[in-house]
């Protein structure tokens, strides 16, 4: 610990944060990354796409979430003495950077946008870390090994599985921050759990994060929080209605483009994504933030294509589609017919969405993804240690299949 | 109360809000206004322009603030029985609409933007209420008198001064919401005060809102909250640094435009404002939201004008100017010389800002603007009823005069 | 509603309460009951006996809990419009009084105290309401039917099952207040749930309280809160250690008394309870509050009986017994032998405690005790409507069997 | 730091605390002190005597406050790096113990009780630390110098003024804990201020605690919190009504005793205090906690002395005196006459109370008691650095002079 090779900030940098009190930054490399264009761009991408149309105060950005994930990683290192002893400083710094950067490749409205454009934010994240960017230069300057180390942690390629476990597993810094943060900014309390209790009961055994048995109830509460947030917030039908329309809007642009009928001006920023390019330059990715999208939708309200005009107006003015439980394919066909009769193109106006959430999945393909509990009888996977979670694991996955369409069709 | 002429929503609409618990909407006209394009546009304008660069979670919009002001007005009417008796339903509905609409004319980054473009959000607010808009149509449909009534309340032209007092005075629904809301979203506690205590002690005397003596401490706390929020949040030098650069950027565009050298494409949305038009159409105002601005700044990062390129990049990447207490005009001239030597145009790179706040101004030109306390000895203006506030009123106004410039010049 | 026969307070009485904001009292009979000696006595009985030895701030009294239960009943009546329509004013007032009085018969350290003295707080509650007390006089003066109505609601004898359902069932005002209140005063967040959401989704169907399907997640959260509070707070082993010693102390007094060897002076207040009287006068019950107990324990620290002296000192000075998971009867006998060798009387020093909690019991003997959900397919018992709760209902009851003894025996 | 001579607990002890999150105990001497009879006795003395009759949830004890003061001292040492460098471990440990023990000599209902019995909790605190007690033995065993060091810090006799400044000054750990704690437990928000901001801006200059200029607003908020809590909570007239009656009750016992007419049995615990003994043994002090008082008042409800009987009943049943602003001596004499006519002895039934609070006293006799701000121009006393506080310092002290008597006399 004496030969610290990483430069420190002249004095500790602190940023007030309602979820964690403060974000604390000691390392210069972290401070420089925060101020890089690629990370600052996350200020222009909201954390919860369509959710703000249900919970109007859910307007926080991926930027503040990224700081929050960084801070949870930092708290873990600071407070879990086991971690301090098993991780060298280089690993600690790489982990802090991975926490901060894990979402840097996100575009606007990630899930629906990616589905329609066939892009992948994880791929962009990796490229931003490894290719020619400010982020890469900052990492490289601090330590030439850092870019690869950070990318490997995020992509689960690191040899030390514990590093990836902290960033991405069933109970990682990412999920812990977003449950707390989304709870705070929506104003629902369902996502709250006792982070400090969890931090106090984390131990490292067999190079894995494990929870002491005395922390098991805090973990149960975390699992419950996750379940509640999925169904009350993330998969809320109004949010999915917004995202379905967004999906339809982009498909419409793609379809027009492929038919050579996409004539909008001032929307160059969308083009790489609607052309179906497979090799999108990072500069194009950088420019497509949510501001660009909303500015684009405002332009589309003047489009000559009635569908683009209508769908963009619906997104901007919260004139969303109604929804019903999926009524079966026969009934769907009937509704599509009515749509056609009333002048709606069913490809863009009759939209289906299937949401599902696994309550608790006890064991995924990778061991480091599970939650482990340390008790007198040794390590046990969480659902073997908690009656509550066993109930979750055995329960049927919750599913919700819905059909969305304009209310005039109801 | 029996002949309610205003339509109600089929069932009470509620929206979760972390500041007030829920926003409750009973009247159809209010619900329709919320869903109008002009009000939904406020989702794309943040409440606190540059503040998010100090407090990273201050990302909430004028939309949620507008709902909050509406809700405080609603709570006042619901809980202050005096108000229910002195206000007719038409006045109540007009007041609710005024609370919701008081900020509808805001553009992006209001204060610095208006200073440079010589526009005025109050004028736009009035036009949106009275001219040909969705908002106007909705008001008009509910009651043809509403547009004028609402506009008059907001513009302090209403004959019943109490209506304007509730929307805009030393202690109005607007300020009460923004102190609480900005506190919540920045994560500082300084703006908190006891809204429910204030609501419980409001009475109506001489057609004025007054506070019972037993609520005086809650009002003192509110005055203190206002003071603290000004200096810790609204007038924070980092926020003013952002706004100074923004101001310089728009001036640069204006200067280039007036010299015929503004050649940017895809920035039509800025044009009406940099041309110095005096009669800006509402459609242009509608389109200029913060998304448009940020999308514009991203474009300007590729500008051929080095100053536009640099300043827009500074805004986006938080590469703000440093600041010092204003060192006197002589020293300013020296710094400007150094700037020129180093290749910086002082018009856009040496920026002065003077901030001041009156701690408590006991009596403004209009009587309805003051805060009145009702005690055994009759109505007294707040600073005559509270030792604390008297101290504020007699204290020197707090001032802060600063000079901003790139850190290379320090 | 026009012929209100119950007197109102001259003005609404409000008491600040951190859990509910304010306790609001409109009816004079309620205000008078609050100020009766029998209700004020509850200030001298803490809500959570031994828990304060684990959570040092759990020092709140049954008085504030009783106000809280009253307030939840009041909120239900105010906010659930169905309830206002199905309940006459007399029933509403009786319900409010029942909420306030449901715990009035409690003695100190209820559970362990009752176990050893064979007394029953429910019986005392009934007697305080029906016999010659201030409480009875106040009820009677407001309405001669009230005493019996209130007693019947509390004792589940009311013909309208809905009245008892509100005061005592799987999801009643009592439990809802204590989970929130004990959470607040211990400082753990596990007991929090969304009371306002539950209130908003309560309906009355078939003269039963039911929850709309849209409130089901709030109920799931409530069930989880209950589970967590049981194991983290109410059944915490340190708390049970305190209560086991308390139980032993009272047994020691009883044993000495029955052997004619109880010679303490100044402890008359304990006598009716250690003599094994079956018909304890209300005046004796009134005098035995927790202050009397603690004052008695301080006196017992000077007792000539070494066991009374030691056990009382342990209770006062937090010198509690250690605990292990129950090791089987054979091992218990061995430990008792060691105790005897070391001079400890195993009757008072080797103590067994078995704690169990049913996670969720879908259907108890009385239908009004269950939680009902109203969905498109009609009324369903909660565990048929919620996957999560079904898991709870099917899970094994959680049990904890422990042995307590002085740490010198370990 | 290597030769730590103080024993540590086998593992860090943590106690959940709603105000500070957790109380953290590392040193064995601190843990042992917490579990000593003298400190555990503080569980039986509430922090806010009569306040619970206004704010019913203000039922917290001096025990939890003492832990809180200890924790703030601990946080200061942990987070203020200046403090770690200027204080040796012995001083740190002495400071922690002083924080925990500063109130250990308190009796029940301190202020009114001490006024009538002419006792002084500071004197008892010193004796408990220095004479033959568990507390003294524990301190002595850890380090024979500790008892004197701790007593000197508390009594302001320490040569290092900074030590006393932390425990007792205008902005000390004691006040900071009680404002936050009393705020939490009463449920009012007026006492809240930003403790963590203050901790972050504390520096040590000239062996004094000073605040960086950037923390000045947090200190202003603290001063405001103090002012509000005094008038809303500590000096609330209902609380003073309770304390006036308590005072009268004890005076009545003294008067009866001095006339040889005090015949109560079972109240031996009061005797040393009503006899006017000047040298009260610690054992008598130990036994007189609030439980003993309340148990005594319950006994006095059966007294043959009508005044004792009435006053004790009023205290227990919240049948307090009414109050008016002090009407002048002439009017007081008239009221006393009416009292006599109606059979009330004015010595115990017409009670006067004068409350005053200095808003901010810029400079007391001892320099270490003031609040110092460090700015570019060097150290300045707070009222010279803050306009707000200057206003407080120049304002008139707030005063409240009241007369209390039974409502029948009104």
Q: Which of B19, B59, B269 is closest, CB to CB, to A61?
A: B59
Q: What is the rounded average pLDDT of the residues B396-408?
A: 91
How far from C36 is each of A130, C133, D313, CA to CA, in Å? 75, 9, 11
Q: What is the rounded average pLDDT of the residues D5-27?
A: 95
Q: What is the rounded average pLDDT of the residues B330-335?
A: 95
Which residue reads 């009796």 in tokens? Answer: D107
Lowest mean pLDDT among B1-5, B57-61, D181-185: B1-5
Judge whether B351 and B321 are in contact, CB under 8 Å: yes
Whether C57 and D18 lie within 8 Å, measured CB to CB? yes
Whether C60 and D59 lie within 8 Å, measured CB to CB? yes
DSSP secondary structure code for residue B55 in this structure: S
Judge whether C150 and C360 are in contact, CB under 8 Å: no
Kindly state the tokens that stand for D239: 């609380």
pLDDT tens digits for C297-341? Answer: 999 999 999 999 999 999 999 999 999 999 999 999 999 999 999
Q: What is the rounded average pLDDT of the residues D352-374?
A: 79
Mean pLDDT, chain D, integer: 93
pLDDT reported for residue B119 = 86
Percent of chain D predicted with pLDDT > 90: 81
> Best interface-test mutation with A: which of D18, D196, D218 has the largest number of A CBs within 10 A?
D196
How long is chain A? 410
Q: What is the rounded average pLDDT of the residues C122-140?
A: 97
Q: What confidence category does residue B2 fall into, taking pLDDT thresholds of 50, 70 and 90?
A: very low
Q: Which of A17, A44, A67 is closest, CB to CB, to B294?
A: A44
Residue A194 Cα, gap to closest chain C Cα (Å): 7
Lowest mean pLDDT among B253-257, B306-310, B367-371, D69-73: B367-371
- Name, in order, each residue with C-beta under 8 angstroms of B14's C-beta and a sequence gap of 6 or more: B22, B23, B24, B25, C200
The yes-or-no verdict on residue C277 having pLDDT over 90 is no
Contact partners for chain C, using 3 or more CB pairs closer than 8 A, are: A, B, D
Q: What confidence category does residue B364 fall into, taking pLDDT thresholds of 50, 70 and 90?
A: low
d(CA D297, CA D308) in angstroms, rounded, equals 9
pLDDT tens digits for A39-55? Answer: 999 999 999 988 999 99
Whether B227 and D359 lie within 8 Å, measured CB to CB? no
Residue B406 Cα, gap to closest chain D Cα (Å): 23
DSSP secondary structure string for all residues of C94-117:
HHHHHHHHTTTT--TTHHHHHHHH
Mean pLDDT, chain C, integer: 93
Phi, psi of A364 (to 5 degrees): -95, 180
Using an 8 Å CB-CB cutoff, list chain A residues near D14.
200
Q: What confidence category does residue C410 fall into, taking pLDDT thresholds of 50, 70 and 90?
A: confident
- Name, in order, each residue with C-beta under 8 angstroms of C19's C-beta and a sequence gap of 6 or more: C68, C177, C180, C181, C184, D57, D187
pLDDT reported for residue D1 = 42
Which residue of chain A has the CA closest to C396?
Answer: A387
How far from A212 is each of A371, B384, C91, C94, C227, CA to CA, in Å? 11, 61, 51, 49, 20
CB neighbour class for B122 (10 Å; exposed up to 12, middle 13-18, buried from 19): middle
Whether B17 and A186 lie within 8 Å, measured CB to CB? no
DSSP secondary structure string for all residues of A285-308:
HHH--HHHHHHHHHHHTT-SSHHH
Q: What confidence category does residue A1 fall into, taking pLDDT thresholds of 50, 70 and 90?
A: very low
Q: What is the rounded average pLDDT of the residues A120-142?
A: 97
Q: Which of C192, C221, C398 is closest, CB to CB, to A228?
A: C221
Mean pLDDT, chain A, integer: 93
Using an 8 Å CB-CB cutoff, list chain B residues near D231.
217
Q: What is the rounded average pLDDT of the residues A143-151?
A: 98
pLDDT tens digits for B222-241? Answer: 999 999 999 999 999 999 99
Whether B186 and A292 lie within 8 Å, measured CB to CB? no
Judge whether A340 and A405 are in contact, CB under 8 Å: no
Percent of chain C predicted with pLDDT > 70: 98
pLDDT reported for residue C213 = 92
pLDDT reported for residue B4 = 61
List domains and CATH numbers for chain A. 8-235 (1.10.3210.10), 238-320 (1.20.1250.30)
Which residue of chain D has the CA closest to A13?
Answer: D200
Mean pLDDT, chain B, integer: 93
Residue A276 Cα, gap to closest chain C Cα (Å): 41
Q: Which of B67, B187, B291 is closest, CB to CB, to A17?
A: B187
Task: Return the SS3 of C370.
Answer: coil
Q: What confidence category does residue D123 fall into, taking pLDDT thresholds of 50, 70 and 90?
A: very high
Residue A318 Cα, gap to closest chain B Cα (Å): 7
Lowest mean pLDDT among A382-396, B129-143, D233-247: A382-396
Whether C359 and A194 lie within 8 Å, measured CB to CB? no
Whether B190 and D194 lie within 8 Å, measured CB to CB? yes
Phi, psi of D143 (to 5 degrees): -175, 115
Residue C400 Cα, gap to closest chain A Cα (Å): 13
Q: Which of A190, A359, A387 is closest, CB to CB, to C398?
A: A387
Q: What is the rounded average pLDDT of the residues C358-374?
A: 75
Residue A84 Cα, gap to closest chain C Cα (Å): 28
The yes-or-no verdict on residue B65 having pLDDT over 70 is yes
The yes-or-no verdict on residue D377 having pLDDT over 50 is yes
Kindly state the tokens that stand for B405: 């410039």
Q: Kindly report the three-state secondary structure assignment for every residue of B187-217.
A: CCCCCCCCHHHHHHHEEEECCEEEEEHHHHH
pLDDT reported for residue C1 = 42
Do the interacting molecules here have an ipTM over 0.85?
yes
d(CA D324, CA A70) in angstroms, rounded, equals 59
């Amino acid at each position: 610990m004496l030969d610290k090779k990483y430069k420190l900030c002249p004095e500790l940098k602190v940023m007030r944060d309602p979820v964690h009190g403060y974000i604390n930054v000691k390392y210069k490399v972290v401070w420089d990354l925060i101020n890089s264009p690629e990370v600052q761009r996350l200020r222009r991408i909201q954390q919860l796409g369509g959710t703000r149309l249900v919970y109007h105060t859910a307007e926080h950005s991926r930027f503040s979430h990224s700081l929050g994930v960084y801070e949870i990683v930092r708290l873990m290192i600071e407070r879990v003495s086991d971690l301090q002893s098993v991780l060298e400083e280089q690993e600690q710094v790489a982990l802090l950077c991975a926490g901060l950067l894990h979402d840097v490749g996100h575009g606007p409205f990630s899930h629906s946008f990616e589905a329609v454009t066939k892009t992948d934010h994880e791929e962009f994240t990796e490229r931003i870390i490894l290719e020619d960017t400010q982020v890469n230069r900052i990492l490289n300057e601090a330590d030439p090994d850092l870019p690869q180390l950070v990318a490997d942690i995020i992509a689960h390629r690191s040899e030390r599985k514990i590093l990836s476990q902290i960033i991405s597993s069933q109970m990682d810094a990412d999920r812990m921050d977003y449950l707390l943060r989304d709870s705070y900014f929506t104003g629902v309390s369902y996502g709250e759990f006792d982070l400090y209790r969890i931090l106090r009961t984390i131990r490292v055994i067999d190079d894995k994060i494990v929870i002491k048995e005395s922390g098991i109830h805090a973990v149960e509460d975390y699992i419950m929080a996750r379940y509640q947030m999925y169904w009350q917030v993330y998969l809320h039908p109004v949010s999915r209605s917004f995202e379905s329309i967004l999906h339809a809007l982009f498909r419409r642009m793609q379809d027009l483009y492929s038919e050579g009928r996409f004539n909008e001006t001032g929307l160059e920023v969308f083009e790489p994504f609607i052309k179906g390019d497979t090799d999108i330059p990072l500069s194009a990715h950088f420019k497509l933030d949510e501001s660009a999208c909303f500015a684009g939708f405002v332009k589309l309200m003047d489009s000559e294509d009635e569908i683009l005009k209508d769908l963009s107006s619906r997104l901007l003015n919260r004139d969303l589609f109604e929804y019903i439980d999926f009524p079966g394919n026969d009934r769907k066909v009937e509704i599509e017919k009515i749509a056609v009769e009333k002048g709606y193109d069913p490809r863009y106006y009759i939209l289906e969405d299937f949401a599902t959430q696994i309550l608790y999945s006890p064991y995924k393909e990778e061991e480091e993804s599970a939650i482990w509990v340390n008790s007198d009888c040794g390590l046990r996977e969480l659902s073997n240690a908690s009656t509550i979670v066993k109930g979750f694991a055995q329960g049927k996955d919750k599913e919700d299949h819905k059909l969305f369409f304009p209310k005039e069709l109801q």
